[in-house]
Amino acid sequence: MEKSVFITRELSPRSSFHKQLEAAEFEVTGHSLLTFRQVPFSAFPTTDWIFFYSRKAVEFFLAQLQYLPTDFKIAAYGPGTAEALRNHKITPNFIGTGEGASTLTAFLKIADNQSVLFPQAVRSRRTIEKLAGNQLTCFPLVVYDNLVREVVEKRSDRFLVFTSPLNVTAYFEHHQLEENQKIIVMGKTTGAALARYGIENFKVAETASEEGLAAAILLSC
């Protein structure tokens, strides 16, 4: 179908991605190609910042707290993560672009040489931590695990939207791209994952958000 989209993310009908594309008469389907499970933690250090890489990091970190201490500043890697925080009535003090280098540059302007807690997945790429080197005092905290689903179905949608490198791996380990399909990705790192499968023709959303992904699809029609 010419106006069909599959995104590797669970979607609510109220999500901005769903609403924007439905208004343009697209058929929209979304679910992750990964499974997630909580990794328990009992304590974490007091730091100047808590930096969340993803929506799932927000979800699995907050699920294990009775309350969020108030003596931290809160950072979000990109707009989507910031939205997840606001859904929990938490206003981030910093919102990155969803891309590593530009996010770190902006973050260091307000957090250089400060301490930062990074709730993350078992297989996190630890992008900001690695790029920061000794410019930040980093404390990784594993709060969830993400595993590729055993069964990943083939999609024939016109647009395939990938939200992480691991979702790219999950799909293309099983299936090939059809001739008429177009790929949209969230972030350059997710785009780079496609190179391992010989895929060079794709579009990176200008902003790492559902709005940015929807805009990229509409511009590609």
Residues 18-55 as b or e (16 or more Cβ within 10 Å = b): bbbbeeeebebebebbbeeeeeeeeebeebebbbbbbb
Contact status, residue 215 vs residue 203, Cβ threshold 8 Å = no
Give the type of residue at 151.
V
Domains and CATH numbers, the chain: 4-33+149-220 (3.40.50.10090), 36-147 (3.40.50.10090)
Q: How far is Cα 94 from Cα 104, in angstroms, rounded to an integer? A: 11
pLDDT by residue, tens only, the chain of 221 residues: 689 999 999 888 788 899 999 999 999 999 999 999 999 999 999 999 999 999 999 999 999 998 888 889 999 999 889 999 999 999 999 999 988 999 999 999 999 999 999 999 998 999 999 999 999 999 999 999 999 998 999 999 999 999 999 999 999 999 999 999 999 999 888 999 999 999 999 999 998 888 999 999 999 98
Provide the whole-model pTM: 0.83
